[in-house]
Structure 1
Amino acid sequence: MPRGQHGSSIKDDKTYDALRDEGASKEKAARIANASARDGKKAVGRRGGKAGDYEDWTVDKLRERAAEIGIDGRSGMRKGELIKALRNH
């Protein structure tokens, strides 16, 4: 899809494009772009970072969280792969 033409579901095309260029998934980029359009970028920035470090979680808990958000292939992933998938989703 051409840059800036993501349809009416994306409320902040510039933020969406920047996040996609950084490697964020379509879902994550849309979620952040729409939140920043709704609440303002400062509010969205202050909101992040409340979860604990994934490194402190067990593999079972990481797989459970990956299942909640729909990460495919999680059952065969090692701890490092799960953490990377969760951070980049």
Structure 2
Amino acid sequence: MPKRDPGPSVKDDELYEKLRDEGNSKEKAARIANAAAGSSRKSVGRKGGKSPQYDDWTVEDLRKRAAEIGIEGRSKMRKGDLIEALRDH
């Protein structure tokens, strides 16, 4: 299989390829690869602010977040489906 070309915006091609092979979306793989390139790979998961777990969010809040990132079909999703879609995006 030929190697994918993530384009010039991806800063860590090796990590991008690994994440895509694991089944992550192009957007998610690029976001993680670029965050890792700016610091150590180990610290990427600890970076960021504090947010309540999706399980603690209301369905309305989950749908708003899904709309912000462009998840299709969110109006018909149940809470569990919304959480899964948000986590996998």
Instruction: Sort the TM-score into its range (normalised by shorter chain).
Output: 0.7 to 0.9
Between 1:28-37 and 1:5-14, the stretch displaced more is 5-14
Map of 1:61 onto structure 2: 61
Unaligned runs of 5+ in 1: none
Q: Does 1:32 align with 2:32?
A: yes
CA deviation after TM superposition for structure 1 residue 42, in Å: 2.6
2:77 is aligned to: 77
Which TM-score applies when normalising by structure 2? 0.86
Question: What is the aligned partner in structure 1 of residue 23 from structure 2?
Answer: 23
Question: Residue 32 of structure 1: CA displacement?
Answer: 0.6
SS in 1 for 2:8: coil
Quote the Cα distance in structure 1 between the aligned partners of 2:72 and 2:18: 25
CA RMSD of aligned residues (A): 1.9
The answer to whether the Cα contact below 8 Å between 1:4 and 1:13 also exists between their aligned partners in 2 is no
Runs of 4+ in structure 1 off by over 4 angstroms are none
Q: Following the alignment from structure 2 to structure 1, what is the Cα–Cα distance between the partners of residues 49 and 22?
A: 19
Please report the TM-score for the alignment, with normalisation by the length of structure 1. 0.86
Unaligned runs of 5+ in 2: none
Look up the match of 2:42: 42
